[in-house]
Amino acid sequence: MDASNILRKLAVATNDSGSPFQEEAFSAAKRWSKLRQPQARAEIFDQKAKDNAACFRNNIESYIGTISIPVGVAGPLRVRGAAGCRDYRVPLATTEAALVASYNRGARLLTSAGGCNARVVAEAVSRTPMFAFNDLVEAEQFARFIDAHADSFTDVVSQVTQHGKLVSVRCLIEGNHVYVDLQFTTGDASGQNMVTFASDAICKLVLEHCPIVPRYWFLEANFSGDKKSTAKSMGHVRGKRVIADITLPRALVEQQLHTTPERMVEYWYAGAIGGVLSGATGIQGHFANGLAALYLACGQDVACVAESATGVTRLETSEAGDLYASVTLPNIMVGTVGGGTALPSAKACLDILGLAGCGKSTALAEVCAALVLAGELSIIGAFCSGDFALAHRALSRGEELQRSNDND
């Protein structure tokens, strides 16, 4: 931040007649005057949107107001996480009928079985700059330089970020191009900006010292998996690799899902191979639904659903005739600080979970996995019992669902 900016911000903060609130709201009003949509304006740029304008200034540009997305609550969802067992009420923001009802049903099933296990088993966010050379011989020399000097990158990272720690450096050569996979842990933040700034600093250090000069280079060249479902993340981690599992007693499956463990496993086969035949990455049903609703409620980057909604659901019958179920999510991008997490609605939703602020991101990732497990069990149950079409027909018409476990 340069000096003039600091001055400008100080000025704004101390000037009564030009408070940040008024400045932002004023700009928004100007934009509306061009749009000429009075009804839309009334909905989007209501009093609260005006009042809160300033608090969004670090999270959006060309602000014109806010949209309202309905939130439902699912649970209690009992999670046996790294820090012990806990029941969560999970806020889910969506406009899709049946979504909350279905996750709620799954959450209650898990809870009635004593809760599911959940663990973050790996953690890293990467940036992957690319350096281009005249030929592969130079590329290989550059890669060797990186390998030899990777230890020295830690220092420069610590100057850029307090929370981001460089955990691995790996070069991957393609032709005369070198992709450098820089992996970081990012504390309780999702961390995408943090790793961008840290990588930028590393690249500049390398460029300053490396005798093999690239023809050109880019700070990020799409090998990181950012905003994409990738096999790379599936076989390693991006963000947090988090798993939830449970062994569900047969009786609970029969009572609550109206089907049997064997039928659930038959569905699993059908769906697993259906996904493989479609060329999907991973094996799963509808991770996207729960994750989108939870990310949205809790101020996470909802575009990350494109990468997070990937993984493996596995169902097996146990020798005792019970149902083992697990979900593995290699690419959960969540934080409890930074990004949109401090915005009013997000803060409220994180508070409902009891997961706002420092030291909570691991638990939030565990909730993601547990929720997704609930959703997989519920939808598979619905396909097995034949309730799927029925439930969607009823709930999308505002009818009551006979077999529902509404959260009341």
Is the backbone of residue 238 left (phi > 0), alpha (psi -120 to 50) or beta?
beta
Q: Which residues contact 17 (CB under 8 A, 6 or more apart)?
A: none
- Among 183, 186, 331, 345, contact with a second copy (rule: CB under 8 A): 345
For this structure, is 200 an active site residue?
no
Question: Binders of a second copy among 155-214, rule CB under 8 A?
Answer: 172-177, 179, 193, 196-197, 199-200
User: Under the criterion CB under 8 A, does residue 111 sit at the interface with a second copy?
Assistant: no
- Among 77, 79, 99, 370, contact with a second copy (rule: CB under 8 A): 99
- Among 166, 293, 333, 364, contact with a second copy (rule: CB under 8 A): 293
CA distance 89 to 87: 7
Asked whether 125 and 197 are in contact (CB, 8 A), the reply is: no
Contact map string, positions 353 to 382, toward a second copy, x by CB under 8 A: ------------------------------
In DSSP terms, 173 is beta-bridged to 178
Q: Phi first, then psi: what are they for 4, rounded to 5°?
A: -60, -35
Query: Nearest to residue 183, comparing CAs of 240, 230, 132?
Result: 240
For this structure, is 399 an active site residue?
no
Question: Binders of a second copy among 35-74, rule CB under 8 A?
Answer: 35, 37, 39-41, 43-44, 46, 48-49, 52, 56-74
DSSP state of 348: H
The b/e string for 335-354 (b: 16+ C-beta within 10 A; e otherwise) is: bbbbbbbbbebbeebbebbe
Q: Which residues contact 73 (CB under 8 A, 6 or more apart)?
A: 89, 90, 91, 92, 100, 104, 352, 407
For this structure, is 392 an active site residue?
yes
Q: Which residues contact 124 (CB under 8 A, 6 or more apart)?
A: 167, 168, 183, 184, 185, 236, 237, 238, 239
Question: Binders of a second copy among 224-263, rule CB under 8 A?
Answer: 224-236, 241, 243-245, 247, 263
User: Under the criterion CB under 8 A, does residue 124 sit at the interface with a second copy?
Assistant: no
Q: Which residues contact 395 (CB under 8 A, 6 or more apart)?
A: 97, 98, 101, 401
Smallest gap from residue 370 Cβ to a second copy (A): 12
Q: Closer to a second copy by CB, 74 or 110: give it.
A: 74
Question: Binders of a second copy among 7-26, rule CB under 8 A?
Answer: 8-9
Q: Which of 96, 200, 262, 316 is catalytic?
A: 96
User: Under the criterion CB under 8 A, does residue 119 sit at the interface with a second copy?
Assistant: yes
- The count of chain residues that interact with a second copy, using the rule CB under 8 A, is 174
User: Under the criterion CB under 8 A, does residue 123 sit at the interface with a second copy?
Assistant: no
Taking CB under 8 A as the binding criterion, the range among 149-157, 205-213, 248-256, 391-399 that sits at the site for a second copy is 391-399
Q: Closer to a second copy by CB, 112 or 404: give it.
A: 404
Question: Catalytic amino acids?
Answer: 96, 301, 392
